[in-house]
């Protein structure tokens, strides 16, 4: 004798709980953040905004304070996100966190998605022509096949 479970459709309860969005200051990354913010709001999910700070080899970084520069970029991104959040406060409330990871964009986003237990990853489409040949971060994330990936143009 088998017990049958009655399954009811539950609107809006099975969506993502943690949405990771990669931002790097580019227009496409800000469009991705806006899209992810809307998705997080509708799904009552946590929006994890991730900036991956590039790590350069010692030889490439000679004479350039790379860590200080990328820290400034991260601080600027947080300020812009806070400003946008304040403008929409009371209209569009979204729970969000800002995280920085170090590395190349693909590896950093993979690590972020794993550590934050992401249910979905949102990224902006690459604005660099060379990525059509080599493969963009977005394409590599899709090929990894570990999370649903949304690429925002």
**Residue 1 in this model has a pLDDT that exceeds 70:** no
Residue 147 contacts residue 119 (beta carbons within 8 Å)? yes
Region 35-47: mean pLDDT is 92
The residue among 50, 39, 58, 31 whose CA lies nearest residue 110 is: 50
pTM of the model: 0.74
| Structure confidence by residue, pLDDT tens digits, 105-135 | 999 999 999 999 999 999 998 876 544 544 6
Would you give the distance in Å from CA 146 to the centre of its chain? Answer: 14
- Predicted pLDDT at 84: 67
């Amino acid at each position: 004798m088998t017990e049958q479970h009655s399954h009811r459709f539950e609107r809006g309860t099975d969506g993502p709980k943690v949405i990771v969005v990669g931002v790097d200051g580019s227009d496409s990354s800000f469009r991705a953040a806006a899209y992810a913010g809307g998705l997080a709001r509708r799904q009552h999910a946590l929006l994890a905004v991730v900036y991956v700070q590039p790590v350069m080899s010692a030889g490439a970084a000679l004479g350039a304070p790379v860590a200080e520069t990328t820290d400034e970029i991260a601080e600027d991104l947080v300020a812009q996100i806070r400003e946008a959040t304040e403008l929409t406060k009371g209209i569009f409330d979204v729970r969000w966190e800002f995280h920085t990871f170090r590395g190349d964009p693909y590896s950093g986003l993979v690590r972020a998605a794993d550590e934050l237990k992401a249910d979905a990853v949102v990224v902006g489409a690459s604005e660099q022509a060379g990525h059509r040949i080599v493969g963009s971060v977005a394409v590599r994330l899709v090929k990894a096949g570990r999370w649903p990936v949304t690429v925002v143009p």
